[in-house]
Structure 1
Amino acid sequence: MKENVSDFLVRRLSEWGVKRVFGFPGDGINGIMGAISRASDKLDFVQVRHEEMSAFMACAHAKFTGEVGVCLATSGPGAIHLLNGLYDAKLDHQPVVAIVGQQKRTALGGSYQQEVDLVSLFKDVAHEYVHAVTTPAQMRHVLDRAMRIAQVERTVCCVIVPNDIQDMDFEKPPHEHGTIHSGVGYKAPRVIPQAEDLQHAADVLNAGSKVAILVGAGTLNATNEVIEIADLLGAGIAKALLGKAAVPDDLPYVTGAIGMLGTKPSYDMMKTCDTLLMIGSGFPYSEFLPEEGEARGVQIDINGRMISIRYPMEVNLVGDSAETLKLLIPLLKKKEDRTWRNRVESNVAEWWKTMEARAMEPANPINPQRVFWELSSRLPHNCILTGDSGSSAFWYARDLKIRRGMMASLSGGLATMGSAVPYAIAAKFAYQDRMIIAMAGDGAMQMNGINELITIGKYWRRWSDPRLVVMVLNNRDLNMVTWEQRATEGDPKFDEAQDVPDFPYASYAKLIGLHGIRVDRPEDIGSAWDYALSADRPVVLEACTDPDVPPLPPHVTWEQARAYASAIMGGDSDSAGIIRATVKQIFA
């Protein structure tokens, strides 16, 4: 029996090393679905509840494994649904290939049902490579190029396969003029800067007496090198959100997160340093970096497009973080004066005391910080953490102490809601023996997380270690936006827009065969985490938290204070509660 195009597509994905495809079926991809079924021993199909979730999972797979993530959707609405998750991958520089169906070629241009101009639709999110297969002999090189370009450019690529093509016999391109003959395989090159640029960078860093390091996702595989550089330079290390797992938080000179979600030690370090070393980060908020001209700058990034766009750097090094740092280390002189380092460490130690004090402040009924603080000391070895956007990301960034060997991620560049649960599912499929913990707010859970609990319910019995926890902050408020309205716009809470319906998350989990725990007393948080982390199946831990506890920025500006006062005087429905909670947090 001759191999058809869909069978070849599945076989070629396997040859590229793809083991798993995330998707949702539809008649526009019936041929491909049949091929996956016939090759189920080579390729695992994970059925999601919504195509957007399959793109999130493909992105998370790429983040946690370094491999290409692959998602699959039908024509028309299925393809459209992929976009948000694909933009998450694009903005966080992750290699993802989307395979989508299309109507028969003979119908195209005829306003046929579900006919969408998919090349135009995907032209931005998959701008490096999007192509429709129009003849069986194209299938090989279109897929090969998509897989290779996704890895080379660390971006999203898209392959569109009309459903009549899917069922045709596969053809090798003939050996003649006007044909393409492609092959499988890609290995990332060793990218390092020029020797003279490395020496220039070393001269700048050696001259500095107060060095601040900022690391991002590009340093996740350079932990040892970053630590050695920091020790030589007597530097402190701040972390962009996607670099949370780059260096462990138990090092006394790691100042933690930076930005609005960041820490005071990170803010103070950036405002008083005389030299900035930025490694593998595109952190966007310049107001949290040194004033222009106040510090000399050195940046390392694998992507030359990201060099010197956040701060005017004196030396720009294009190269792999680990490889570049290895070459830089022998050129650096160990700083004997540790005055700067001692100051950083003192600030960090004081900050952790402050975080504990704030977490233990009473609230109505539970302080959200305490939910994260109680988890932090209980984090299992080698666990994987997934976060969402919103106030949950704030406490995730600040209150969790990452240790060596853990992994963690969320939606960084896009900062979209809804990433925590699909990220956790993808992580669990990739690392079935590791504990996975997702942290989301009730807004994100109602947007899509509740539905993906059904996916967890469908698959958890297949996992060698079924432990997975989804923690939900049930505060019945779109909390981060509520606080942003107050602190940036000076507007009181818009109840009609911000109030979220109450929902029994823990009870729902039980309804679909998972464990569910609802916590509404602070003294029960620790035991709830103990139970969730040792359960025999996935658990939803629903924490009833106080929306009035403020996510205080590391530095309150006069504009923010004035806007906050304006919101309260403007008749905020929660004004009494937020005043009480804010005073408690400030004094803590």
Structure 2
Amino acid sequence: MTTVSDFVIQRIRQWGVSRVFAFPGDGIGEFDGALGAAQRAGDGLQYVRPTHEEICALMATAHAKFTGEVGVCIATSSPGAFHLLNGLYDAQMDNQPVVAIIGQQGLDALGTFTQQESNLERMLADVAVYVQTVVSPAQAQAVLDTAFRTARVRLGPAVVVLPHDVQGMAMPELAPQNWVSRSSAVAPSIAITPPETDIRQAASIINAGNRVTFLVGHGATGATDEVLKAAELCGAGIITTLRAKQVVPSDVAHHSQQLGLLGSLPSVHQMSGCDTLVLLGTNYPYGQFLPPTGQARAIQVDLKPEQMGLRYPTELNLWGDVKATLTALIPHLDAKRDHSWQTAVADEMVEWESEMEAQALVGYEDGVNPRRVYHELNKRLPPQAIVTADAGSTADWYGHHIRLRRGMRGDLSGRLASMLAAMPYATAAKFAYPDRCVICTIGDGAFQMLGLNELITIKKYAQEWENPQLIIMVLHNDDLTQVSWEMRTEDANPVWPESQDVESVDYAGWAQLLGFTGIQVRTDDEVGAAWDAAFANHGVTLIDAYTSKNVPPLPPHITLEFAKNTAEALLKGDPEEPAVLVDSAKALVTEGIERIKDTLHHDKKRDD
């Protein structure tokens, strides 16, 4: 007899999925049994079981991000479903196709307040693009296919709720009858191209511009060549969002990396000087860094129409896939002879990179310079490397110092900015690309959430990877650093140790207990050697970097509010005031010297 569970497993395979991220429980027990039977028969799914359901959902989201496929996570009823939520919101907010299969108590128990029975549809309605409980075997095919199709087309998480008794019911052959849908495991293409009239209008706007800037988001993944060709024709400077570092190679001279607090000064200057802004596959959330209203004519290209025209008053919104849209647009773009705008961006980036290096080489008495850790990593990134970063100060240093070349990948929890995501992202990347070197960069606060546990998951599966090289670098400063700085710079409050302190743990020692290589780094001079040892190790390495928590994550343009709030926070009795003053002064002096050099350089070029 073929059960509903048997059918669902084979249908998942028909949708092109070969790996699921799951955690068991009695609410999903019948389905788990079928998964085991299918695996023993050789036609099942690879079952990856981390240490927590939240990790399952984050891994499924990361799988979707790194592969472009649908990520699948599986969990039991109420508590398992609740634990999935954070990862499902990560998928929702970063527009990733994920399908969650969730158990439920038997049909007769629904609405009777029984053990682990809750209204999952109501609970999941906010996060899911589609959520449905399967209440009969004849409904299973249509519900599962609709979940996959909707996740793929609407770019978000979809949920199928499987009651325990339905999981074991016989799956019938579907015949033509009223109220029974017979569906297909086929999703429509999302390579959508806007109408020709819109394409021509977009070309007219871009061709009229003299200082064109492309703001490129993760939605442009797969369109690298088209973005570069279009920028070449119209002489555009390029800015990428943090999640889109991988879209435009770092060696493109007129790519000024990111914009905003984690960005570069050349990107600030692009935004303040552009007369045409083209947003490609991005819902960039920080409108304060975009041009004043009326400065630039703007176009947005995106597959999420509800997210267009939100941050800046665009003149034209193109509902379409970035690659397909640019392919249609490129023949209509005029080839500009004047590339002075691009040249100016490229020249500024040379100066900015010098400033970033100078900041990385500043020495601090209260710990390793965290910028130095990323600077030395960036110099050693091997071809095809994959780098993950966490929310918090790791995202600052990732944005400022990591430069991804063509073929490299990098990602993090974007709009949700969830702590702890760097670990499941790195592990999911390793499953997707077992031949590549993966580097996880994470803070100690995030690592203590679930990262320590996930070293156990890595121990369980590392022997399955073709290349077992996986490097975890923990910024060890015993502080929730990003929030500490946000308390100062945003709210003018001193740091409150009761909320911010992180208990010190021997992370390298914990890695060694599990059989991995653990390396402690306590001085700047040890950083390069630690990375060399990690890249030479054909296995798992954890670098425990004892870094300063008082190095300021300086934005490219320091506002009066930033400086004023920080000063007020220190005056209110910040417990780290002496170190903050010293370390900030060193960073600001270095920044000032580099800015003076830049000014002199610009003055010389002007005089010449």
Length-normalised TM-score, structure 2: 0.95
**Partner of residue 245, structure 2:** 244
Work out whether residues 138 and 173 of structure 1, in 8 Å CA contact, stay in contact via their aligned partners in 2. Answer: no
Residue 159 of structure 1 aligns with an amino acid whose one-letter code is V
How many angstroms apart in 2 are the aligned matches of 1:337 and 1:483?
43
SS in 1 for 2:380: coil
Taking the aligned partners of 2:357 and 2:184, their CA distance within structure 1 comes to 56
Q: Which residue number in structure 1 is paired with residue 473 of structure 2?
A: 471
Distance in 2 (CA, whole Å) between partners of 1:340 and 1:545 is 39
1:440/1:472 contact within 8 Å kept: yes
State how far apart, in whole Å, the 1-side matches of 2:8 and 2:579 are: 58
CA distance in 2, matches of 1:109, 1:401: 53
* 2:37 counterpart letter in structure 1: R
Structure 2 residues without counterparts, runs of 5 or longer: 591-608
Q: Is 1:5 paired with 2:21? A: no
Name the TM-score, length of structure 1 as normaliser: 0.98
Aligned partner of 1:47 in structure 2 is: 49
Equivalence for 2:101: 99
C-alpha distance in 1 between matches for 2:443 and 2:191? 41
* Aligned match of 2:357: 356
CA deviations over 1:171-216 (Å, ceiling 9, x no partner): 2334321211112122414311122222221121112111111100
Amino acid at match of 1:176: Q
Aligned partner of 2:531 in structure 1 is: 529
**Matched residue, 1:168:** 169
Check conservation: 1:298, 1:315, Cα contact below 8 A.
yes
1:478-489 alignment to 2 at 5 Å?
478-489=480-491
Kept in 1, the 8 Å contact 2:190–2:321? The answer is: no
Corresponding residue for residue 393 of structure 1: 395
- Aligned equivalent of 1:497: 499
Give the structure 2 partner of residue 572 of structure 1: 574
CA distance in 2 between counterparts of 1:54 and 1:89 reads 12
Q: Relative to structure 2, which stretch is displaced further, 296-305 or 95-104?
A: 296-305
Tell me how far apart the structure 2 counterparts of residues 192 and 109 of structure 1 sit (CA, whole Å).
Answer: 46
Q: Using the alignment, how far apart are the partners of 2:567 and 2:372 within structure 1?
A: 26
SS in 2 for 1:256: coil
How many Å separate the matches in 2 of 1:508 and 1:270? 46
Query: Could you tell me which residue of structure 2 aligns to residue 375 of structure 1?
Result: 377
Instruction: Give % identity.
Output: 46
Equivalence map 1:93-492=2 (5 Å): 93-126=95-128, 128-363=129-364, 364-492=366-494
The 2-side partners of 1:564 and 1:460 are apart by 45
TM-superposition CA deviations, 1:547-587 (whole Å, max 9, x none): 01000112111111110110111111111111111111122
- In structure 2, give the amino acid aligned to 1:297: A
Q: Which amino acid aligns with 2:460?
A: K
- Contact conserved, 1:421 with 1:452, CA < 8 A, in 2? yes
**Structure 2 partner of 1:33:** 32
User: Contact 1:211 / 1:234 at 8 angstroms: preserved in 2?
Assistant: yes
Encode CA deviations 1:59-78: one digit per residue, 9 max, x unaligned. Answer: 01111111110000011101
- Asked if the contact 2:153/2:190 (under 8 Å) is kept, the reply is no
Gaps spanning 5+ residues in structure 1: where? none
User: How far off its partner does 1:459 sit?
Assistant: 0.6
SS, match of residue 102 in structure 2: strand
CA contact (8 A) 1:507 1:516 kept: yes
2:560 counterpart (558, 561, 570): 558
Supply the distance in 2 between the matched residues of 1:397 and 1:119 (Cα, whole angstroms).
Answer: 38
Post-superposition offset of 1:296 = 1.1
4+ residue stretches of structure 1 with deviation over 6 A? none
Letter matched to residue 374 of structure 2:
F
What is the aligned length?
Answer: 586
Match of 2:311, SS?
coil
1: CA distance between counterparts of 2:524 and 2:263? Answer: 25
SS of residue paired to 1:71: strand
State the distance in 2 between where 1:97 and 1:75 align: 15
The answer to whether the Cα contact below 8 Å between 1:22 and 1:48 also exists between their aligned partners in 2 is: yes
Give 1:338 deviation, angstroms: 2.6
Render the CA deviation track for 1:9-31: whole Å, top value 9, x for unaligned.
Answer: 11111121110110111111111
How far apart are 1:111 and its partner, in Å? 1.1
Contact 2:76 2:103 in 1 (8 A): yes
Distance of 2:237 and 2:335 partners within structure 1: 14
